[in-house]
């Protein structure tokens, strides 16, 4: 049997976080919350005789993304009309860019599961306007909300360099992270601000032919995208294996049912009859302007990850987790600034705080909203470091901080959680545990190591989890040794 | 250059126009004549002329990212042939998204 290799390219549509729309001064509103048709005007409604005017901030944001992806910024931009009829497009054409886009020839280095990286080429990034939102009523009609019509979008197109659904996922996650760092998109896919389309084909592994590809549209979550690509790769392999071959097609993805829906065979590009947008003059971008935008770029996730490894001694996996979301990296650095030590803070953040947030179905980018402040986390770990509490108690205090907020030292004092280091108290606990468990003591003396752990647990329990582990172990060993002789 | 019967049908289809056989024939002739006329431009030597990207004597016409009040919903919907629930109501088009 032939081994197949997927060939995948991604188009990412990212709404730019401008205040107003791309070509008019209507507000950009949250599409999932705003009442329908409350942010429209003659321009975005497609009334005759109106004149679109380009939003300067949309251009700036697009340039930031282009430069962050290592793109070349051509000296001039032209807008073009992409013509098609659909009820979510009031003018009958979408203003986009065709021959002269904002940014070309960039790349994104993605992290692979094996720890390596792979360079995925970015063909282009161009500005365009979003369409309206359609709701099918089920009675043969659709309702159209044009609040979203004219919202600035940046379409970022990769070369077909991705070789698996996992690589597509890594690309999507890292790109999303970059967009967040640049402050151009908040990455909340449930609100539709980031959408994907995937071009998929398969070929015999090792060959460099490009076979017929299909395009999967309407991918509104990274998880959905991964599943859709996996399904499509399987479907195409089956088609080649059974001798039917793959036909060019546009597919939809039903995330609830986990099914691909074949929508239609693809129109060729010329069917959109692109032509230069006569209402918008050329946009020229000087090398000085490009240099200025480049100068203003923030530290990006990969650079921050590398700095965390280099300067803080974190391993690459931890550093990647901590820098994937800007809010998490900011939180982490705030905890370090408050005196936290790099590794313990990283461990507690990744191991404990993420666990608590997961249980509440909170996304990691919501870390700024939890009740544990970075300062409280640093203080908690300082208490553990100094031996005022043991690690188990630290986790208990964290649970309290997470639920109620507050000051770790005060919680420890008020709830009597300070570590028990008092030798008399520990010895008394050991003696009573041994007295209550004569059979286990017998077993231990007969050579059962397992029982030692049980007894240790019982003593810690008697101390309500607050015993200083080393002191408890020593006291227990001593008492057992005394019984042996 | 001539425009074929099939090409006219295809363009009409994209433009959502329903043409009779007679109209298709008429438009095929007319479009062919128009193209032939425009073809004359090919006689001009443009090898030393850069492609024209815009005929407007302007560039970089931008506006600041400022919000101006939008239309009241009722006014936005005023010209709609049909509306419901503050939205435009249109015949459903399924399985043909762009």
Q: What is the mean pLDDT of chain A?
A: 91
Confirm whether B18 is domain-assigned: yes
Binding-face residues of A in 169-188 toward B, CB within 8 A: none
Query: A220 and chain B: CB distance < 8 Å anywhere?
Result: no
pLDDT band at A376 (very low <50, low <70, confident <90, very high): very high
Q: What is the mean pLDDT of residues A112-135?
A: 93
Confirm whether B52 is domain-assigned: no
DSSP letter string, A375-424 = HHHHHHHHHHHTTSS-HHHHHHHHHHHHHH---HHHHHHHTT---B--HH
Q: Contact at 8 Å (CB) between A29 and A20?
A: no
Confirm whether B28 is domain-assigned: yes
- Whether residue A267 is predicted with pLDDT greater than 60 in this model: the reply is no
Tokens (6 digits) for A371: 């009740």
Confirm whether B90 is domain-assigned: no
Which of B58, B86, B91 has its CB closest to that of A281?
A: B58
What tens digit of pLDDT does each residue of A54-80 get? 999 999 999 999 999 999 999 999 999
Q: Residue A293 CB: number of other CB atoms within 10 A?
A: 20
Q: How far apart are CA A65 and CA B52, in angstroms?
A: 28
pLDDT band at A102 (very low <50, low <70, confident <90, very high): very high
Q: What is the mean pLDDT of residues A473-484?
A: 82
Which of B70, B88, B97 has its CB closest to that of A86?
A: B97
- Whether residue A117 is predicted with pLDDT greater than 80 in this model: the reply is yes
Number of domains in chain B: 1
- Sequence-separated (6 or more) residues with CB below 8 Å from residue A186: A17, A180, A193
Which of A76, A145, A271 has its CB closest to that of B53?
A: A76
pLDDT score for A480: 83
- Sequence-separated (6 or more) residues with CB below 8 Å from residue A474: none
Partner-chain contact B63 A144, CB within 8 Å: no
What tens digit of pLDDT does each residue of B40-93 get? 998 999 888 887 777 778 889 999 999 999 999 999 999 999 999 999 999 987
What are the start-end ranges of the H helices in B1-98? 5-14, 21-39, 73-76
- Whether residue A327 is predicted with pLDDT greater than 70 in this model: the reply is yes
Which of A36, A45, A252 has its CB closest to that of B86?
A: A36
- With vertex at residue B58, the alpha carbon angle to CA B55 and CA B60, rounded to the nearest 5 degrees, is 125
Confirm whether B23 is domain-assigned: yes
Partner-chain contact A281 B92, CB within 8 Å: no
Q: Of A31 and A124, which is predicted with more confidence?
A: A124
pLDDT score for A440: 85
- Whether residue A415 is predicted with pLDDT greater than 80 in this model: the reply is no
Q: Locate the chain B residue with the closest alpha carbon to A137.
A: B92
Q: Of B70 and A460, which is predicted with more confidence?
A: B70
State the DSSP H helix or E strand holding residue A191, giving kind and residue range, or none if neither: none
Full set of structural domains in chain A with CATH: 4-293 (no CATH), 301-414 (no CATH), 423-484 (1.10.10.410)
Q: What is the mean pLDDT of residues B18-28?
A: 95
pLDDT score for A91: 93
* Phi (first) and psi of residue A405, to 5 degrees: 75, -175
Q: Which residues of B touch A (CB under 8 A)?
A: 14-16, 53-54, 56, 58-68, 70-71, 73, 76-77, 82, 84-98
Confirm whether B35 is domain-assigned: yes
Interhelix angle A449-462/A469-484, rounded to 10 degrees, is: 130
What is the residue range of B28's domain?
Answer: 5-42
Confirm whether B20 is domain-assigned: yes
pTM of the model: 0.84
pLDDT score for A70: 97
Query: A57 and chain B: CB distance < 8 Å anywhere?
Result: yes
- Whether residue A363 is predicted with pLDDT greater than 90 in this model: the reply is no
Partner-chain contact B64 A40, CB within 8 Å: no
Confirm whether B11 is domain-assigned: yes
Q: What is the CATH number of the domain that holds B25?
A: 1.10.20
- Whether residue A295 is predicted with pLDDT greater than 90 in this model: the reply is yes
pLDDT score for B94: 61
Q: Contact at 8 Å (CB) between B33 and B57?
A: no
This complex has an ipTM of 0.86
Q: Of A471 and A21, which is predicted with more confidence?
A: A21
């Amino acid at each position: 049997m032939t081994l197949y290799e997927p060939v995948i390219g991604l188009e990412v549509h990212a709404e730019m976080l401008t205040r107003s729309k791309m070509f008019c001064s209507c507000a950009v509103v949250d599409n999932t919350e705003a009442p329908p048709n409350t942010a429209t005007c003659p321009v975005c409604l497609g009334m005759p005789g109106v004149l679109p005017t380009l939003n300067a901030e949309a251009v700036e944001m697009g340039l930031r993304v282009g430069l962050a992806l290592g793109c070349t910024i051509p000296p001039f931009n032209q807008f073009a009309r992409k013509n098609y009829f659909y009820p979510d497009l009031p003018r009958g054409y979408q203003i986009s860019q065709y021959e002269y886009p904002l940014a070309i020839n960039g790349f994104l280095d993605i992290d692979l599961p094996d720890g390596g990286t792979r360079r995925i080429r970015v063909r282009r990034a161009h500005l365009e306007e979003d369409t309206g939102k359609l709701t099918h009523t089920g009675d043969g009609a659709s309702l159209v909300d044009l609040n979203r019509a004219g919202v600035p979008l940046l379409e970022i197109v990769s070369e077909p360099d991705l070789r698996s659904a996992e690589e597509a996922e890594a690309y999507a996650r890292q790109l999303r992270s970059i967009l967040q760092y640049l402050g151009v998109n908040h990455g909340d896919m449930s609100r539709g601000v980031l959408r994907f389309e995937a071009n998929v084909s398969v070929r015999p592994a090792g060959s460099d032919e490009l076979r017929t590809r299909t395009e999967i549209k309407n991918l509104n979550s990274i998880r959905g995208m991964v599943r859709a690509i996996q399904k499509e790769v399987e479907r195409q392999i089956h088609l080649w294996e059974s001798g039917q071959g793959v036909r060019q097609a546009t597919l939809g993805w039903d995330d609830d049912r986990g099914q691909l829906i074949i929508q239609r065979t693809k129109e060729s590009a010329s069917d959109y009859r692109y032509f230069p947008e006569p209402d918008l003059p050329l946009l020229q971008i000087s090398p000085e302007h490009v240099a200025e935008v480049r100068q203003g770029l923030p530290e990006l996730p990969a650079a921050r990850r590398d700095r965390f490894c280099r300067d803080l001694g974190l391993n690459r996996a931890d550093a990647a987790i901590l820098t994937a979301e800007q809010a998490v990296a900011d939180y982490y650095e705030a905890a370090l600034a408050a005196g936290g030590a790099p590794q313990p803070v990283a461990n507690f953040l990744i191991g404990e705080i993420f666990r608590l947030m997961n249980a509440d179905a909170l996304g990691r980018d919501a870390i700024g909203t939890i009740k544990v402040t970075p300062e409280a986390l640093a203080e908690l770990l300082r208490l553990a470091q100094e031996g005022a509490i043991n690690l188990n108690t630290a986790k208990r205090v964290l649970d309290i901080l997470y639920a109620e907020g507050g000051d770790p030292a005060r919680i420890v004092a008020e709830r009597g959680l300070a570590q028990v280091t008092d030798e008399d108290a520990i010895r008394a606990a050991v003696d009573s545990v041994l007295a209550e468990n004569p059979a286990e003591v017998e077993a231990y003396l007969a050579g059962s190591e397992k029982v030692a752990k049980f007894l240790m647990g019982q003593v810690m329990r008697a101390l309500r989890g607050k015993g200083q582990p080393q002191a408890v172990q020593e006291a227990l060993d001593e008492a057992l040794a005394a019984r042996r002789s | 250059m001539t425009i074929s019967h099939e090409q006219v049908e295809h363009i009409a289809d994209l433009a959502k126009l329903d043409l009779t056989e007679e109209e298709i024939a008429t438009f095929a002739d007319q479009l062919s004549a128009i193209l032939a006329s425009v073809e004359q431009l090919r006689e001009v030597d443009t090898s030393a002329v850069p492609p024209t990207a815009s005929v407007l004597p302007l560039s970089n016409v931008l506006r600041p990212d400022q919000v101006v009040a939008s239309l009241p919903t009722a006014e936005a919907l005023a010209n709609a042939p049909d509306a419901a629930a503050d939205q435009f109501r249109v015949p459903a088009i399924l399985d043909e998204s762009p």
